[in-house]
Amino acid sequence: MNSREKKKLDMERRGKIIDEELKNYVDLKTTELTEMLNGETPKKRTIAASILGDRAKEPAIIPLCISLKSEKALYPRIAMSEALSKIGEPAVPHLINLLGEIGNNQETELPKKYFNKKSYPLARDMTARTLVKIGKPATPYLMEVIESGTDFKAQQAIDAIGGIAAKTEDRRALKVIINRMERCFVSGDKITLWKTVRALSGFKSSEEAVDPLILIIKSDYDFPIIWEALRSLGQLGVKTPELMELIIGFTKNDNTEVSKAALNALIDLNKQ
């Protein structure tokens, strides 16, 4: 068996399917498909989730959410997320309950390296990713979590809001993000503060998002929060002489990640 065949076999074991494999199952009832979500074969779980997504019927929401929470194989997990995103807003309240509940991939400490990409960072929480796919209909629900949810759950909601704003230009949650940031100034919650700083990068061309970020870089915060604020300022694209001068000062910072972020922010702002 050559490397290509091994790779194909590995993908199949993880639940990868081709469209033709759906044909034998498209006539199954929704109840039969939801039962397949609990089957032992990853490929059949992918098939069931894919068809349920195409149907986009509300009775599939709870079985899909339950399966998404426990699924270990890659391709069924992706198919379940896609299915819930196709169902859309009716799935949002159930997904809100799952924020921070799937896996242990969510950030729990400040990063060691600057995120050196032009795109908005992909949410690491699977539920947050699904809510980003749903987009604008999820915003009001996420705003409520950010305002009143526990820190960990709010952190995942903040990630989702940032992703939705970057993807759809939905600015309804901007004030909520800034308010949560201001609460972090008092509480000293570094992780949530870093999340809000990062999320602001999704609100392109928003002058209201600039001031709290300037406050961050003028203060004595941890380096990851400083370089994330610089990155967000570059992504926002709101260019003023005063801001440019302030960022230039950081290009000579002793911390190489901060200086790199400042340089990239200048490049981004000079493109405007």
**More confident call, 87 vs 8:** 87
Domain identity same for 69 and 196: no
Domain identity same for 78 and 149: no
pLDDT score, position 9 = 83
Domain identity same for 141 and 234: yes
| Domain endpoint, select from 87, 109, 141 | 87
Cα gap 248→231, rounded to integer Å: 13
Cα gap 249→230, rounded to integer Å: 11
Please state, for a pLDDT cut of 90, what percent of the chain lies above it. 86
Query: Own/partner pairs for 116-120, CB < 8 Å, 24+ apart?
Result: 116/260, 116/264, 118/268, 119/166, 120/162, 120/163, 120/166, 120/167, 120/201, 120/202, 120/235
Torsion, Cα 150 168 234 177, to 10 degrees, reads -20
Domain presence at residue 117: no
Domain identity same for 130 and 251: yes
Please state, for a pLDDT cut of 70, what percent of the chain lies above it. 99
Yes or no: say if 160 and 131 are a contact pair by the CB < 8 Å rule.
yes
Domain presence at residue 34: yes
In 3D space, the residue among 222, 219, 217 whose CA is nearest the CA of residue 200 turns out to be 217
Domain identity same for 140 and 240: yes
**More confident call, 71 vs 103:** 71
Domain presence at residue 239: yes
Residue 11 pLDDT greater than 90, yes or no: no
Domain identity same for 148 and 240: yes
pLDDT tens digits, 215-249: 999 999 999 999 999 999 999 999 999 999 999 99
Radius of gyration of the chain (CA): 21
pLDDT score, position 175 = 98
Residue 158: give the domain boundaries.
126-270
In 3D space, the residue among 32, 54, 56 whose CA is nearest the CA of residue 44 turns out to be 32
| Domain endpoint, select from 34, 58, 87 | 87
- 254 band by pLDDT with thresholds 50, 70 and 90: very high
pLDDT score, position 121 = 87
Domain identity same for 206 and 149: yes
Residue 115 pLDDT greater than 80, yes or no: yes
Torsion, Cα 176 180 183 189, to 10 degrees, reads 180
Domain presence at residue 51: yes
Residues 6 or more apart whose Cβ sits within 8 Å of residue 190: 110, 184, 222, 225
Longest dimension (CA), the chain: 64
pLDDT score, position 73 = 95
Indicate the pTM of the whole model: 0.93
pLDDT tens digits, 140-184: 999 999 999 888 999 999 999 999 999 999 999 999 999 999 999
User: What mean pLDDT do residues 12-30 have?
Assistant: 93
**More confident call, 8 vs 69:** 69
Domain presence at residue 249: yes
Residue 120 pLDDT greater than 90, yes or no: no
Label residues 220-259 b or e (16+ Cβ within 10 Å = b). Answer: ebebbbbbbbbbbbbbbebbeeebeebbeebbebeeebbb
- Whole-number average pLDDT of the chain: 94
Domains: count for the chain: 2
| Domain endpoint, select from 87, 105, 134 | 87
- 10 band by pLDDT with thresholds 50, 70 and 90: confident
The residue to which tokens 């044909």 are assigned: 23
Domain presence at residue 102: no
